[in-house]
């Protein structure tokens, strides 16, 4: 099984994969766009890998942190979640944002994921509640933390921003964010994106 790769980045595809050359061999690795853009084009790059083997195919999924790989493995062990959906969930939510969404039963956060409807989101919330209670994944969240992020997201949606924009603007907010400060930061981010 391939667990990590260290080598030279040859190419990034718009479809969401990187070609990493290691010892003269090019490995195609599926990644989220956030991880793809963070890879260094100069010199050596390192990624954690999940090697997914099926009867008819083998795929590599790459991550820039162990936490993302652990979360991905928990997701694909969940009923009805394959590698593509797991990657789509991580495309939309960081591991900590996902834990926060599950902890606060935020159905809307999961329906922002491409291919996840309300019923699927509700089922995932129930199934992930016990699976994501691992110490290495738990975000230092509290009721107020989850509430603050939810308030900021709701405010942005009321202002007319798309769900994908809302997720992008709030995914990197600190867990102990103040609502007013977080909203200012998110609006500043969105203003820069639209400029």
**Mean pLDDT in each 10-residue stretch from start to end of the chain (195 residues)?**
92 90 94 90 90 91 92 91 94 88 86 90 88 54 56 79 77 76 85 76
pLDDT reported for residue 147: 66
pLDDT reported for residue 146: 58
Distance, in Å, from the CA atom of 99 to the CA atom of 83, rounded to the nearest integer, reads 18
pLDDT reported for residue 144: 42
| Structural tokens at position 116 | 């996840």
Buried b (16+ CB within 10 A) or exposed e, 37-76: eebeeeeebebbbbebeeeeeeebbbbbeeebbbbbebbb
Q: Which residues pair with residue 59 across a beta bridge?
A: 52
With CA atoms as reference, report the closest residue to 48 among 10, 1, 98: 1
Reported pTM: 0.69
pLDDT reported for residue 100: 83
């Amino acid at each position: 099984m391939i667990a990590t790769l260290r080598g030279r980045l040859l190419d990034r595809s718009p479809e969401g994969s990187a070609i990493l050359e290691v010892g003269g061999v090019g490995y195609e690795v599926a990644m989220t766009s956030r991880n793809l853009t963070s890879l260094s084009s100069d010199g050596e790059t390192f990624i954690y890998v999940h090697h997914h083997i099926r009867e008819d195919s083998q795929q590599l999924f790459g991550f820039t942190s162990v936490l993302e790989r652990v979360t991905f493995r928990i997701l694909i062990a969940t009923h009805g979640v394959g590698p593509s959906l797991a990657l789509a969930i991580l495309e939309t939510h960081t591991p900590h944002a996902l834990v926060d969404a599950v902890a606060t039963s935020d159905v809307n956060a999961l329906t922002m994921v491409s291919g996840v409807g309300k019923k699927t989101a509700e089922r995932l919330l129930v199934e992930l509640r016990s699976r994501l209670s691992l110490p290495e994944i738990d975000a230092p969240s509290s009721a107020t933390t989850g509430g603050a992020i939810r308030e900021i997201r709701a405010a942005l949606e009321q202002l007319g921003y798309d769900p994908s924009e809302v997720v992008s603007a709030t995914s990197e907010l600190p867990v102990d964010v103040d609502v007013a400060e977080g909203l200012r930061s998110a609006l500043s981010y969105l203003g820069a994106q639209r400029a």
